[in-house]
Amino acid sequence: MKKRLLLKWQWLPVLALIGQVLQAQNNCDITLRGKVVDAHTREPVAFANVAIEGSDIGAMADENGLYSIDNICEGSYIIVCSHVNCDHIEHQITLTEDTQKDFVLEPHGVFIQEVLVKGKAVPLKAAGAGATLDAAQLSSERGLTLSDAIGKLPGVTTLNTGASIAKPVIQGLHSNRVLVLNNGIRQEGQQWGTEHAPEIDPFLADQVTVVKGAGSVRYGADAIGGVILVKPRPLPEKAGIGGELNLQGLSNGRTGIASGTVEGRLSGKLPVSGRLQGTLKRGGNLQTPDYFLDNTGVEEANFSWALGLKQGKWNTELFFSRFYTRLGIFSGAHIGNLTDLQNAIERERPLQDGTFTYELGRPQQRIYHELFKWKGELETGDKGTLQLQLARQFNRRQEFDAHRPYGDLPDNFDEPQIEFEITTHTAELSWEHDPIHNLRGSAGALFMRQANTTDRGALIPNYENYTVGAFWIERWKNYPFPLEVEGGLRYDYQWMDVGLQGRDSINRQLGFSNFSGTIGAIYRFSKLVELRFNAGTAWRAPNVNELFSDGVHHGAASFETGDPNLRPERAFNNSLSIELDDKDKLSATLSLFYNVIDDFIFPEPQAEPVLTIRGAFPAFGYAQADARLMGFDWQAAYEVMPGLQLESQASLLRAWNRSRQEYLSLMPPDQFEHALRYTFGKGEGDNTAPYLRLAMINVLEQTRVPGFSSAHLTGTDYAPPPAGHTRFKLEGGARFRLGRQPFEVNLAIFNLFNASYRQYLNRFRYFADETGRNVSVHLRVPFGNG
Amino acid sequence: MIFNISMPIRFLSLLVIASALLWTGCQKDDDTPPADEPELITTVVLNFTGPDGNTSSFQFSDTDGLGGNPPVADDITLSANTTYQLDIEFRDESNAANVKDITAEVREEAEEHLLCFAATGVLDIPVTLDTDGNGAPLGLETELTTGQAGNATLAIILKHEPDKGADNPCITGETDVQAEFEVAVQ
């Protein structure tokens, strides 16, 4: 009954979002003039078109880039500036008097799906669905985890192991099916593990873009669920020193974070820019509304540097980042075998209420990740841009069980039970060509070599992995013609040489290869409505853990066995998005998706448990079935009255195992978020006005799970999914100046009313509640040019 | 003068330096065997000493570690109406050439360990005789009294970091060993 009522409430704001655009028109003698320049060279762009959208009024810039439009009526307009060799720019402007407006055009738009939201430029939109978060939107959640920050987007949720380990889930898919690009390089760690979070400093991310559905063609096979692009700030283009200091405190876990950036550019002859960035984080035991969670502290120490040189047609950049974290795993969740797990579930709450401490004990994870990359770019005359990227990554993951290994002290005192080291080298050459008869495109090739060593434990084997791939993407666009079409093709070959696993030699060589393809279109019905369609096919080779896993997964109390004969997965992704934007009061996006994955690889429960000297463990073997994932994501905002905005967001998913005729397990439940946002007055620019935002998040119970049976060994889960819940979040932010020094303060209270709840996609839901109220205060102090 | 070097040459030299840095980074040999496996308990030995001073031993072992072959347990035969002293030993027999006794280590860390017992059939649960440094039970040394003849099962569970103050400490902590035996009382 309660649920039904809730459902009705979800839809009310949607109905309220039907609005009208009002334009006042009085004075009709206004002149708009200005200059059009190239974003890189600052040279004037000759013969660009400047027009008022939806009207015949416009003008062409002269050879010096100057334009002038006369006799415009007072009102609010969207001015479009376009040029055959550039991305067009849309700018919203309210004209009450003669106005000067300059436009800066990007000569080569960033291609496919890399949506840039900085400034006012409207570059190529992805034909597929996607969304971007900028630094301001990432603000408060950055203090939690990077995944929590991305999880704000519709269609994106998180898969958690406690509160400090979170992985992004895009429309139900995660881990190896989601590719994370850290500063242009595919992040390679042990991303197959559900408790292995992305090893990226959230404060390094200035902008995060999520590509939903297959992003395989551009970014590499595997990405059948989506792609997450994490980008640091571009290196400064202006001479001088600048930077920023971020200080954040979170009440839960009494977490403190300090993150700083210093960047600059030499003036004079040598056009070198550089940046140094670092983050320190420390948190103690987290707290649910009723008890502390023992051993849930976290320590993180990251730094990065970048050096760039830009001259004429050349552009080169060196980048290094280091990520190191030590995080405690909730001790109440560490169990020996299935009986322990059942005991823990029956207790319903942890045995001990815990206390606060910053001390980290066992179980624990220590993760080290470093990335070193070099990028070189060359503008090949008026033909396009050639880019070469070389990168080396090293990732070490150590997992310490609750019990230190048996053996003589002190040798074994501080030794992990599991340790992996993986080194990855990537080289990518790509060429983006300038428009040729309205066709723009890029082509490229990638080489990757990877070597994994399992130094302790034998869960996965040592292996070497070689991948080569090539892609070609073209897009046809003839602004202002309302249709844009895009198509791309990719081929990848992957070869894997598998060596030792523990003391056994696997000695197997596996090769996989296939094509990925995508076609997409954008159609603008009017300046208000835009339709986007994308169909693609992608494939993913089985991952090493799916092929060769052999051992107990602690915390999950399960024994996982791989199958070396697995076939690659083949996905067919379809997405249709309708976007409504009146550039004033209303914006809304509805994205429908229908994804079919043949030979979907999943851990299937086995009839017989594995008997060991530690007791019985339920056995899971990797199996394949045909799956279907469909649903929609929804996001809308409507300005009800000046300053007050109503926001609505929904993520719905239905995941079905077509072969077994049952639901897929561990899929995110339906989720809704509704918010009221009040902005006080007008700020100096974008997002600078003080605001308050109250959000209500409803998560429904996941009722679509494979037949749950209390006989744990035949069911697929140990406990039924937790009940749905509602939680609230209050956010606010303001910018102010003390003297000449600007400050930015962001406040957020997560779980405002301290609700007790559990999440289906948290692997620790068997043991404890989610964390309680968490007050975050974030202070950002830019200095110099920053 | 460095500024006189033409751009392409500078670019190329940067490329060479960068690639040298990137590609010669430390690399692990893929074929290195993993570090020595940490010691693990593969074998539980039950030593029953009767009133006559004779000791009979039975064992439960899983020498190939978790997974692989299932554990093997001896069948225990005991005399009816007899009080036995039952001492429990733990061993690491994963390497037959280097068998290690882990019992002493469990005793040294007695506060962190607890042996729990479960019995069905004609058998009563063994009575724990030894204690840890805090005076709480440990369970490496116990006493078992048999009654009438019949069949029974006996389970030995080694708990790590149990809450010894809890009402039922045996449902707390992490299970390190769970060994089950068939017992015939004659």
A95 pLDDT band (50/70/90 cuts)? confident
CA-based nearest distance A104→chain B, Å = 27
Strands A364-380 and A178-182: unpaired
* pLDDT for the residue numbered B38: 60
Look at the alpha carbons of B126, B127, B130, B136 in this order and tell me if their dihedral is positive or negative: positive
Chain-chain contact of B38 with A456 (C-beta, under 8 angstroms): yes
Per-residue pLDDT at B163 exceeds 80: yes
All residues of chain A having their beta carbon less than 8 Å from the beta carbon of residue B175 are: 335-337, 339-340, 614-615
Per-residue model confidence as pLDDT tens digits over A632-646 = 999 999 999 988 999
| Mean pLDDT (chain A, rounded) | 85
Write the class of the CATH domain A2-105: mainly beta
- Residue A382: how many other CB atoms lie within 10 Å: 8
pLDDT at A345: 86
pLDDT reported for residue B137: 94
pLDDT at A21 over 50: no
Residues of A in contact with B15 (CB under 8 A): 316, 374, 376, 388
- Range B51-73 average pLDDT: 89
B172 pLDDT more than 90: no
- Shortest distance between the Cα of B146 and any Cα of chain A, in A, equals 26
The DSSP 8-state label assigned to residue B136 in this structure reads: -
Q: Choose among B21, B39, B166: nearest Cβ to A372.
A: B21
The neighbour count for residue B179, using CB atoms within 10 Å, is 26
Chain A partners within 8 Å of B19 (Cβ): 374, 390
pLDDT band for position B12 (50/70/90)?
low
For chain A, say whether B67 makes contact (Cβ under 8 Å): yes
Instruction: Please state the rounded mean pLDDT for residues A641-657.
Output: 94
A392 → closest Cβ in B25, B37, B161: B25
Question: Is the distance from CB of A432 to CB of A384 less than 8 angstroms?
Answer: yes
Residues of A in contact with B66 (CB under 8 A): 551-552, 559, 610, 612-614, 617
Selected residue with higher pLDDT from A686 and B183: B183
Which chain A residue lies closest to B2 (C-alpha atoms)?
A270
Q: A286-290, A304-308, B36-40: lowest mean pLDDT where? A: B36-40
Residue B145 CB contacts under 8 Å (≥ 6 apart), including other chains: B82, B83, B84, B124
- pLDDT per position as a tens digit, B24-37: 444 444 445 555 55
List pLDDT tens digits, range A114-128. Answer: 333 222 223 344 556
pLDDT at A46 over 50: yes
Q: Which residues contact B78 (CB under 8 A, 6 or more apart)?
A: B48, B84, B144, B146, B183, B184, B185, B186
The amino acid that residue A668 corresponds to is P
The mean of the pLDDT values for chain B is 83
Which residues sit opposite A654 in a β-bridge? Answer: A630
- Determine phi and psi for A443, rounding to 5 degrees: -140, 155
* Residues A680-710 pLDDT 10s: 887 555 456 899 999 999 999 999 988 754 4
Instruction: Convert the pLDDT of each residue in A369-408 to its tens digit.
Output: 999 999 999 988 777 889 999 999 999 999 988 877 776 6
Sequence length of chain B is 186
- Is A424 an 8 Å CB contact of chain B? no
Nearest CA-CA distance, residue B86 and chain A, Å: 20
Q: Is A309 touching B (CB cutoff 8 A)? A: yes
Nearest to A571 by CA among A258, A215, A87: A215
CB-CB contact of A162 with A759 (8 Å): no
Q: What is the interface size between A and B, counted as CB pairs within 8 Å?
A: 170
Rounded distance between C-alpha atoms, residue A740 and residue B116, angstroms: 70
pLDDT at B14: 60
Mean pLDDT of the A130-134 span: 79
What is residue A239's predicted lDDT score, i.e. its pLDDT? 85
CATH code 2.70.50 for B43-185 = yes
Q: What pLDDT, on a 0 to 100 scale, did the predictor assign at position A645? A: 93
- Closest by Cβ to A406, choosing from B34, B39, B174: B39
Of the residues B5, B12, B13, B22, the best mutation for testing chain A's interface (the one with the most A CB atoms within 10 Å of its CB) is B22
In chain B, which among 78-107 make CB contacts under 8 A with chain A? 92, 100, 102, 105
Whether residues B19 and A390 touch (CB distance < 8 A) is answered with: yes
> Could you tell me which chain B residue has the CA closest to the CA of A331?
B173
B173 to chain A: closest CA residue: A335
Look up tokens 């569970």; give the residue.
Answer: B157
Sequence ranges of the domains in chain A: 2-105, 130-234+245-784
Confidence of residue B96 (pLDDT cuts 50, 70, 90): confident
Q: What is the pLDDT of residue A1?
A: 38
Residue A108 has pLDDT above 70, yes or no: no
pLDDT, position A4: 44
- pLDDT for B26 equals 44
Q: Nearest-CA distance from A551 to chain B in Å?
A: 7
Burial class (CB in 10 A: 0-12, 13-18, 19+), B98: exposed
Does A136 touch chain B if contact means CB atoms closer than 8 Å? no
pLDDT attached to residue A405: 73
Nearest CA in chain B to A311: B7
CB contact under 8 A, B30 and A463: yes
**pLDDT in the model for residue A658:** 94
B181 has a chain A CB within 8 A of its CB: no
Choose between A64 and A785: higher pLDDT: A64
3-class SS at A626?
Answer: strand
Per DSSP (E only), the strands in A543-668 are: 550-553, 558-561, 569-581, 586-605, 610-612, 615-617, 619-641, 644-657, 662-663
Percent of chain A past pLDDT 90, that is, above it, reads 52
- pLDDT value at position A11? 43
Closest chain A residue to the Cα of B160, Cα to Cα? A403
Q: What is the mean pLDDT of residues A1-24?
A: 38
Residue B41 to residue A406, Cβ atoms within 8 A: yes
List pLDDT tens digits, range A457-506.
888 999 999 999 999 999 888 877 889 899 999 999 999 999 988 878 88
Does the structural domain A130-234+245-784 have CATH classification 2.40.170.20? yes
